[in-house]
Amino acid sequence: MELVTLSRVFVPAEADLLAARLESAGFTPFVHGVDAALSMEGYSLVTGGIQVKVPADQAADARAFLATEPATGGWEARFREVYFRAMAAYRSGRGSPATLCDPADTAFLTESGCSVQELYDFIEDASDGGEPDFETVLEVQGIRRDWFLGKQQGRWTGRTVPMSDLPAKTDAVDGIAWLPRLIVKARLKLRGEMPPDLMYGCGGDRPFLRRMGMTLPGFLQLVRDLGDDDRAIVEAVKASRHRATHRD
């Protein structure tokens, strides 16, 4: 397969970010030259630096993409890059939280109020089961990040709630099983206190919320806005379910 070099960079992280952007747009990037000899200034120009390449039949479209979709420095753009880099790692066989992310991406996630375990859970379900999609994950993590940087001033509580403290899956309120547990899970998600074996947005949460006419980000916002008022949350969910089941 013939490969065409799109860019030469001299910092490994820059090559990874560019490759992640290309992959997220549907291209097939290859990174060559990471083991090039180092000079005092970085990767030696003599060795050609780190080369980001794509198959020849993708080169024209990839160049057009890079020209019309310049990289941005915003949190959403960086999270997208980290997510798709982690997705590529998962699919290449690095199928555990311990091997999913490099130190730089781990630090970025931690500073955003997201653990590698949480990202791993989303990627595992998306890769193996087709959902949740990236946009849903981005919205959920954006809500958590806002809480983390605002309410928590960028500091983790250091607390992890044990699984035994959660309501059972069969516990119900007003005849709605699963809802008591999900309310607690959403609060733990907001506070960053999820135990490793618990996932906000798991394979039980997603179909439940669809039946209620709600989404993962929407329910998290609801719990954020209504705080400790369980009754208000329950009534809001019941109203959403009524609207979803009585559409014309």
Query: Do 173 and 129 belong together in one domain?
Result: no
Q: Is residue 115 part of a domain?
A: yes
Query: Do 134 and 86 belong together in one domain?
Result: yes
Q: Is residue 156 part of a domain?
A: no
pLDDT, residue 71, reads 54
What pTM, to 2 d.p., does this model score?
0.71
CA angle at 97 for the pair 170 and 10, rounded to the nearest 5°: 145
pLDDT, residue 12, reads 65
Mean pLDDT, contiguous 10-residue spans, the chain (248 residues) = 78 71 86 57 47 90 76 76 92 89 91 95 95 96 92 93 96 98 98 96 97 97 96 97 85
Q: Which two tokens stand for residue 222?
A: 């609801």
Query: Do 130 and 204 belong together in one domain?
Result: no
Q: Is residue 158 part of a domain?
A: no
Q: Which of 23, 44, 68 is the last residue of a domain?
A: 68
Query: Do 61 and 114 belong together in one domain?
Result: no
Task: Report the C-alpha gap between 88 and 81 in whole angstroms.
Answer: 11
pLDDT, residue 47, reads 47
Query: Do 35 and 79 belong together in one domain?
Result: no
Query: Do 213 and 142 belong together in one domain?
Result: no
Q: Is residue 87 part of a domain?
A: yes
pLDDT, residue 84, reads 92
Q: Which of 102, 120, 150 is the last residue of a domain?
A: 150
Query: Between β-strands 50-55 and 3-9, what pairing exists: parallel, antiparallel or unpaired?
Result: antiparallel
- Who's near 221: CB < 8 A, 6+ residues apart? 143
Q: Is residue 155 part of a domain?
A: no
Domain residues for the domain of 45 are: 3-68
pLDDT, residue 45, reads 38
Q: Is residue 44 part of a domain?
A: yes
pLDDT, residue 24, reads 77
- For 30-96, give the DSSP string: EEE-TTPPEETTEE-TTTT-EEEEEEGGGHHHHHHHHHHS----SHHHHHHHHHHHHHHHHHTT--S
Q: Is residue 49 part of a domain?
A: yes
Q: Which of 128, 150, 172 is the last residue of a domain?
A: 150
CA distances (Å), origin 109, targets 44, 54, 59, 135, 182? 31, 28, 31, 17, 24
Burial class from Cβ neighbours inside 10 Å (0-12, 13-18, 19+) for residue 211 reads middle
Q: Is residue 182 part of a domain?
A: yes
Query: Do 130 and 167 belong together in one domain?
Result: no
Task: Report the C-alpha gap between 104 and 138 in whole angstroms.
Answer: 19
Query: Do 64 and 81 belong together in one domain?
Result: no
pLDDT, residue 62, reads 87
Number of domains in the chain: 3
Task: Report the C-alpha gap between 90 and 99 in whole angstroms.
Answer: 9
Query: Do 199 and 128 belong together in one domain?
Result: no
Query: Do 62 and 79 belong together in one domain?
Result: no
